[in-house]
Structure 1
Amino acid sequence: MGKYRLLALDLDGTLLNDHSEISETNLTWVRRAVEAGVTVIASTGRGFPSALPIVEQLGLESPMITVNGGEIWTKPHSLHQRTLLDSNQVMKLHALAEKHDVWFWGYTTEDIYNKEKWVGDTLERKWLKFGYYTEDLPVLNEILQEIGEWEGLELSNSSPFNIEINALGVSKASALMEVCRMLGYEMSEVVAVGDSLNDIAAIRASGLGVAMGNAQEEVKLAANIVTGSNQEHGVAQVIQNYVLRT
């Protein structure tokens, strides 16, 4: 095995193509990496329930990072660490979404709620993440500017048209560091691959930070290398050219 022992893969826009599928090429090369002794993990903004089928398709029993690092799993169904978003903050974030009349969603430890299905007992829920979506960029920027002045929030995105909010200090990078501590790896032995702002911290903190060809420009600037797009099996290219190259 080469110098990289852990491969952390974002899912949407990275491992998955535009139809939210794993290409046969990506699937083949992920399995080859695992067979070679590389620890491959999902590192995603998705919640555990929607990330799990992808992990199962890959046949992984390795750690998982979900909701941008809000949850860390030692393996599927085995929770290691969870960091909650303050319920009072969620009430304020929800009020701001209503004010601007934009699509929004929130992850709790039990379910996902959104503009079409919200909950009255916000304070009683255990929240992990909140998000906004709108293609009206001036409105999105206005929301970003306002919540950027609030304390206790970690802001990122998983597309140019959304904002994702976790508790301050929660990121894929901090979660990766904890996974490395659990496994006895160094961050220099990690390859992190992603396409959006929620991947930047992990890309910067890893031994090899990789931006997808379809990544946001800021992500490409933060990365050591840029691979092919999610439509071009960019993950497979990383495994071939860097992870399994000795």
Structure 2
Amino acid sequence: MEEYEKILTEIKEQEKLLQFTEFTKIRGFYMYKLLAIDMDGTLLNDNKKISKENILAIKKATQLGIKIVIASGRTIQGIEKYLKELDLVNDDEYCVVCSGALVMNNTNEKVIQSNPLSYDEFKYVFNLVKKLHITLNMYSDERILINSSSYYSKFDAIANNIPLEIRDFNYLDKDTLITKIMLINEDLSIVEEMQSLFPSIIVDENKLEAKEGFNRELFKDMSKLPKEFLENFTVSKVTPFNVEVMKKNISKRTGLEKIARELKIKPHEIICIGDSGNDKEMIQYAGLGVAMGNAFPEIKEIADYITCSNEDNGVAHVIEKFILNQKEAI
């Protein structure tokens, strides 16, 4: 009887080990193949630099065969110099830019997927902007179109390394390419807060004026924005004063899904790291969704893991813990 119980115990232990092994494979603890990383607030520190620690960790991950995908709200022109720093400028390396509206290879020579907004969609958003007493930036053909200058538009142009071009949106050419739209809610009363968000941009405060009807709380509760607007577009808050507008059902996640299909990589083999509203869908999609220590509270709530902040090498921490250490454990 004792021998029988001993054998039974051994069988159960073997079953547990097999179950654990299968579980680790399913969750990808040592099977991750792709790491998707947001830029601003995630890979970049507050001075818009990639730390040496993050660069070294990413290069170690690539040496193990891990695909690194930069998934950013920026244009490809806005991430090119960082791709070079990371040695990722190759035909077989990919990026998600404009928050999923464009998927490209990192040499900027091949568009894998494009999902621009239509002229009618733009007109709807422009009319809404006028009602809300705010303004907008429009990404189009390696430039940013604006109808009036703003603090954020200057940051946008510098960050994306593309020019600003003033247009009268009431007479916009119907054939204009509209990759994405950024809503901008700012006035003189929030200059200090804007400067803390974008310390690299110097703005002449005399050119900023107090706006009649300015509502600093406009984007605090996104659910209070018009229902029709929220239902017909992908709408994401990227700062307390800036909201990104994309074509419906287009996001960093859809861009990442396209790359994963191209590379035959499954969701459970993916890690995604981000900090703000436009990272939410890809974090939920990944086998391991990671929020930065400086992420919005709502992003931390849906993440599987919370790493260090962008000032404390949060990306390197994730790579060490979930890729490099797991590889060594094997």
Q: TM-score, normalised by structure 2?
A: 0.70
Q: Decide which moves more: 183-192 or 106-115.
A: 106-115
Note the alpha carbon deviations across 1:35-58, whole angstroms, 9 max, x for none: 111100100111121122221221
Whichever structure has more helix as a proportion of its residues is 2
Structure 1: how far apart are the matches of 2:43 and 2:105? 21
CA deviations over 1:59-85 (Å, ceiling 9, x no partner): 113110001110011333121110011
In the alignment, structure 2 segments of 5+ residues that lack a partner are 1-28, 150-165, 187-214
- Residue 27 of structure 1 aligns to a residue whose secondary structure is helix
Find out whether 1:65 has 2:96 as its counterpart: yes
Amino acid at match of 2:305: I
Q: Which residue of 1 aligns with 2:217?
A: 138
Mapped pair 1:21 → 2:70:
no
Q: Which entry has the higher C-alpha Rg, 1 or 2?
A: 2
2:106 aligned partner, one-letter code: K
CA contact (8 A) 2:83 2:106 kept: no
User: Contact 1:137–1:161 at 8 Å: present in 2 too?
Assistant: yes
Structure 1 stretches (4+) deviating beyond 4 angstroms?
141-144
Which of 112, 115, 118 is residue 167 of structure 2 equivalent to? 118
The 10-residue stretch of structure 1 (4-13 or 55-64) with the greater mean CA deviation from structure 2: 55-64
Structure 2 residue 136 is the aligned partner of structure 1 residue 104: yes
**C-alpha distance in structure 2 between counterparts of 1:177 and 1:225, whole Å:** 21
Contact 2:98/2:180, CA 8 A, preserved across alignment: yes
- Counterpart-to-counterpart distance in 2, 1:152 and 1:101: 21
| Contact 2:96/2:104 (<8 A) preserved | yes
Q: Does the alignment pair 1:80 with 2:138?
A: no
| Matched position secondary structure for 2:31 | coil
Q: Is the 8 A contact 1:211 1:219 kept in 2?
A: yes
Structure 1's unaligned 5+ residue stretches are: none
Comparing 16-25 and 88-97, the one that deviates more: 88-97
Superposition CA RMSD, Å? 2.0
Contact 2:236 2:278 in 1 (8 A): yes
**Structure 1 residue 18 displacement after superposition:** 0.7
C-alpha contact (below 8 Å) 1:16/1:23 kept by paired residues: yes
Query: Cα–Cα, structure 1 residues 70 and 159, in superposed 2: closer, same or farther, change >3 Å?
Result: same
Which of the two has greater strand per residue? 1
TM-superposed CA distance for 1:176, in Å, is: 1.1
Identity %: 29
